[in-house]
Structure 1
Amino acid sequence: MAVRTANTELRRLFTESGWTFDQCARAVNRVGTERGTPLRYNGSAVHHWLGGTMPREPVRQLIIEAFSRRLNRPITRGEAGFPDPVDQASEPMGTVEGLIELGRMDVDPSRRGLLGAGLFSVALTVPGWPDVVARADDIQKGKTARVGMNDVHMVTAMTERLSDLDDEFGGQYARPMAASFLLTTVAPALKADSSESVSQAMRSAASDLCYLTGYMAVDEGLHGLAQRYYVKALELAGAAQDYLTYCTTLRGMSVQAVDLGHGAKSMRLADAAAAASPQAGPRMRAFLAGQQAHAAAQTGDRTNALRYLREAEVAMERAESRGKALGSYDPASLHYHISQVRYELGDHYAAVEALRESDRTRMSVYRRSRVHRRGLLAERQLQLGHLEAACETWGLALDEYPLVKSGRADERMRRMVALLRPYQKNASARNLYERARQLMTV
């Protein structure tokens, strides 16, 4: 009988984690549940892994992610004592080739599972500015087609329209169109012949669209997929020398991380965004500082959270224009950050007031955000014991909910039904509960 060799590398990580066998198993199970593949491992399975039993390939990825989250740093397969997958490509793909492969997997339902779409990874390697600038060499031209500035304007206009659709109707409507457009039109344009100025402009336009597609994937709850698009946005922004989209994308990645409860990762991404934009205008500075404040608050750093929040408020006062439509930062966004910081720091009354002000000042076109944020506001009103106010706010969210296709909005409505269930003796709560159940079964 073959004798297994103990996995000393995994044992080293296990010792560093400070976990018990059962705690480690539960952490892996949590990552599996987040990915949409619930697991029921116990301490015995961990004991076998450390002893040399090799888990299945999908489980290895979950183990690596669980240890990366626990130890707050990326963990490689080698560090965990796991071999590389047999079908791993020998050479990494270039920027455009990687975008094409990502798009093909995204638009083909039979290949969607290969993306690990539901799993957010703290182990993701985020390329720095010098790295993404160097990626410009990967975009090789020389095809027979030639593109000009009219093609760039077309990509920019399409991105703006997709962004408008996302704001009004939700990512589940708009993102499939964005993925298909990236694959069939934008990726070929990146490899077509063009002047250097057109080439740079097309890379910048493609970066904007990749960022938007990743943002919409977050709205659907496809967090691993979103990260893949975000990294492509970073690479293309570097190739275009586009600091604005590079910083905006890092900030978007920080938002994704903090909303999933990964405060330390969010803080690193927010700081990286701020560091990469030393000459940011006041609106961009407010945009970045607001996110730094939220991330700092989630990590318990009250001093820096309040300092960054004040920076965001001062910068917003100095901002003179709305900025470009994609990724803009306005007073409603600032009040949302104020609410999140106050909530993380334990001042729930101030958090509710700030979120009410955010809702009051939000532009009418942002229907998807309005449904999601009103759901959040109602949850916090209920947490304070204000049942009637919560029902009124939930009612407003429910009015517009049938008009959007959004994973985040769906989750808010499911939470609403669960939270209202104990209050059936209250007429407002009972009526809202029944109305919600009817809408969600249509």
Structure 2
Amino acid sequence: MSDDSTVLARYLDELGWSPRQLASRINAIFGAGTVSATAAYYWRRAGNAPRAPLPAMIAIVFSQSLGRTITVEELWNGQAVDSPHIVPAAPDMDVPWTLSGTVQLVEDWVQGGLMDRRTFVAASGAALTAAAHAYLELPRLTAALRGDTVSGTLISQIEATLPELRDVDHRRGGLHAKTYVHGQWLTIGALVRDGHHQNAISKRLLSALGEMGDLAGYMAFDAGEHGLAQRYWITALRAAQHAENTALAASILSNMSYQAATREHGRDAVELANAATRAARTAPAAVRASVASRLATAHAAAGEVQAFRAARDRAQDTLAEASPAAQPVPDWASFVSRSYLSSQSACALIQLGRTQMSENRRVARALLEEGQTLLAPSMSSTPSGFQRSGVLRTVWLALGYTASGELEEACLAGRVAAQRLSDVESPRCASLLTDLRKALARGRHQNAAVREFIADLDQVLGQT
């Protein structure tokens, strides 16, 4: 037991954490450099409270790790200032999964408006995956809404904007239209909140809310706002449930899985992708194939080679069975193709190869080579209308070459990606290029190509 008698010290002991581990967790959630590695030693002593907004951040870290609510008041007994604008992404799970509960969450969005100043903290573990379990375990909505305040013409206009907005996201990246999409989300949310629609209109409206939330969440994810993305997705998942739109629910859960995989939370990613698989059981083949592809990426993030290969093969086999005439493909899944699935598995192969380097270099090199072969065509062409994907694929190719020690090829692929970066507004792409810079700079400054490329890349990243 620590000699310190503060509440913070007791919670550190309960978790088995050192002050350095607390600081590391804060930086992992809120960003590198938020606190110094030794700052928590000072907070642990009685009477030493950090300045705002750190007390709220610390309370959130303890709440997530201990599985119960820990407040700033409890930690410092009135000696620290709270920061109410910092809130967890996952809404209070006590809000029931009923239509009134969903409307309650939508009301929170509408009241926040376009200038919502809150910072949403990304969840992980049970706090994140609880939404998936709640969706799967609850029965479908059976009580219909009554009345008709939204016309079929209006809902058709709302539905018609969705494909265009998705196209903008694919071409220009998440930042380009994020504010506009948020405005559309609030507009649909206000219509849902007002209620009193006929059952058919109500379901279409809730599906539109779910689709717009799925898109808004992906844009926020691409913009690096992970907590905000989760908040969109969890609300959208509820809307999909009430609309009885299981295919959309599967899409939302698979996007949540993909986010977790990119954040290197492999077990969360697998759990969410498995939930998406269950939700997609009756969905069109293209949706099931896309979900299987996300499951493969999740297994790659978890370092599970055989499970990755099984899910990857299932994705391709499922798409081969597709019969759009028998089961129409939702517009939001129309991009799913063999080449799309191949590129997704290629990026996952690079991710797997990089993580396997410390365990089995022979296996790692084989994985990297397989991924590089699949991604090599991305150097010369970008899928029409998918400029962001073109950037991401070439960066992953460069990361693969870097891990293999093929530095000149890595720099060449990195230059192609850097040139394409100006075509998109995607912090995710810029962040991945930053990862490439770090990988190349690690002990490789003696290589002339690397030195020259890093200098040029720094200029590009400085402009984003």
For the criterion TM > 0.5, the same-fold answer is yes
> Per the alignment, do residues 238 and 378 of structure 1 end up closer, same or farther by CA in structure 2, a change over 3 Å counting?
same
Q: Which residue type is aligned with residue 10 of structure 1?
A: Y
Structure-1 separation of matches of 2:450 and 2:25: 40
Q: Over aligned residue pairs, what C-alpha RMSD do you find? A: 4.0
Q: 1:269, CA displacement in angstroms? A: 0.5
Q: Which runs of 5+ in 2 are unaligned?
A: 76-81, 357-363
Structure-1 separation of matches of 2:457 and 2:31: 30
Contact residue 332 and residue 358 of structure 1 kept, 8 A = no
368, 371, 377: which one pairs with 2:388? Answer: 368
- The equivalent residue for 1:116 is 120
- The equivalent residue for 2:41 is 44
> Per the alignment, do residues 388 and 60 of structure 1 end up closer, same or farther by CA in structure 2, a change over 3 Å counting?
same
Q: 1:169, CA displacement in angstroms? A: 1.0
Q: 1:406, CA displacement in angstroms? A: 0.9
> Per the alignment, do residues 302 and 46 of structure 1 end up closer, same or farther by CA in structure 2, a change over 3 Å counting?
farther
Q: 1:20, CA displacement in angstroms? A: 4.2
Q: Residue deviations 1:206-258, cap 9 Å, x none?
A: 10000000000000000000000000110100110010111110011000001
Equivalences for residues 204-219 of structure 1 within 5 A? 204-219=207-222
> Per the alignment, do residues 97 and 115 of structure 1 end up closer, same or farther by CA in structure 2, a change over 3 Å counting?
farther
Q: Does 2:273 match 1:270? A: yes
Q: Which runs of 5+ in 1 are unaligned?
A: 69-74
Equivalences for residues 228-307 of structure 1 within 5 A? 228-307=231-310
Q: What's the secondary structure of 2:303's corresponding residue?
A: coil
- The equivalent residue for 2:422 is 402
> Per the alignment, do residues 106 and 58 of structure 1 end up closer, same or farther by CA in structure 2, a change over 3 Å counting?
farther
Contact residue 43 and residue 49 of structure 2 kept, 8 A = no
Q: What's the secondary structure of 1:323's corresponding residue?
A: coil
TM-score, structure 1 as length reference: 0.80
Contact residue 335 and residue 357 of structure 1 kept, 8 A = no
Q: Residue deviations 1:64-95, cap 9 Å, x none?
A: 33x26xxxxxx121699958x99899985832
Q: Which residue type is aligned with residue 339 of structure 1?
A: A
Structure-1 separation of matches of 2:380 and 2:337: 12
Q: What's the secondary structure of 2:131's corresponding residue?
A: coil
Structure-2 separation of matches of 1:81 and 1:40: 24
- The equivalent residue for 2:15 is 14
> Per the alignment, do residues 102 and 348 of structure 1 end up closer, same or farther by CA in structure 2, a change over 3 Å counting?
same
- The equivalent residue for 1:27 is 25
Q: How many residues align?
A: 421
- The equivalent residue for 1:319 is 322
Q: 1:405, CA displacement in angstroms? A: 0.9
Q: Residue deviations 1:370-410, cap 9 Å, x none?
A: 11221222122232233333233223323322121111122
Q: What's the secondary structure of 1:116's corresponding residue?
A: strand
Contact residue 170 and residue 219 of structure 1 kept, 8 A = yes
Structure-2 separation of matches of 1:52 and 1:33: 23
- The equivalent residue for 2:337 is 330
> Per the alignment, do residues 360 and 441 of structure 1 end up closer, same or farther by CA in structure 2, a change over 3 Å counting?
closer
Contact residue 7 and residue 74 of structure 2 kept, 8 A = no
> Per the alignment, do residues 375 and 130 of structure 1 end up closer, same or farther by CA in structure 2, a change over 3 Å counting?
closer
Contact residue 147 and residue 192 of structure 1 kept, 8 A = no
* Identity level (%): 22
Equivalences for residues 106-185 of structure 1 within 5 A? 107-108=114-115, 111-112=116-117, 114-116=118-120, 119-122=122-125, 123-124=127-128, 125-127=130-132, 128-129=134-135, 146-185=149-188
Structure-2 separation of matches of 1:103 and 1:402: 33
Q: Which residue type is aligned with residue 114 of structure 2?
A: V
Q: 1:173, CA displacement in angstroms? A: 1.1
Q: Residue deviations 1:262-303, cap 9 Å, x none?
A: 011111101111112222333222212222222223323333
Structure-1 separation of matches of 2:440 and 2:392: 17
- The equivalent residue for 1:56 is 55
- The equivalent residue for 2:452 is 430
Q: 1:336, CA displacement in angstroms? A: 3.0
Q: Does 2:386 match 1:388? A: no
> Per the alignment, do residues 257 and 106 of structure 1 end up closer, same or farther by CA in structure 2, a change over 3 Å counting?
farther
Structure-2 separation of matches of 1:189 and 1:40: 46
Q: Residue deviations 1:140-173, cap 9 Å, x none?
A: 777xx82122222211121211111111111111
> Per the alignment, do residues 431 and 270 of structure 1 end up closer, same or farther by CA in structure 2, a change over 3 Å counting?
closer
Q: Which residue type is aligned with residue 115 of structure 1?
A: T
Structure-2 separation of matches of 1:230 and 1:386: 39
> Per the alignment, do residues 439 and 193 of structure 1 end up closer, same or farther by CA in structure 2, a change over 3 Å counting?
same
Q: What's the secondary structure of 2:69's corresponding residue?
A: coil
> Per the alignment, do residues 307 and 21 of structure 1 end up closer, same or farther by CA in structure 2, a change over 3 Å counting?
same
> Per the alignment, do residues 5 and 435 of structure 1 end up closer, same or farther by CA in structure 2, a change over 3 Å counting?
closer
- The equivalent residue for 2:79 is none
TM-score, structure 2 as length reference: 0.77
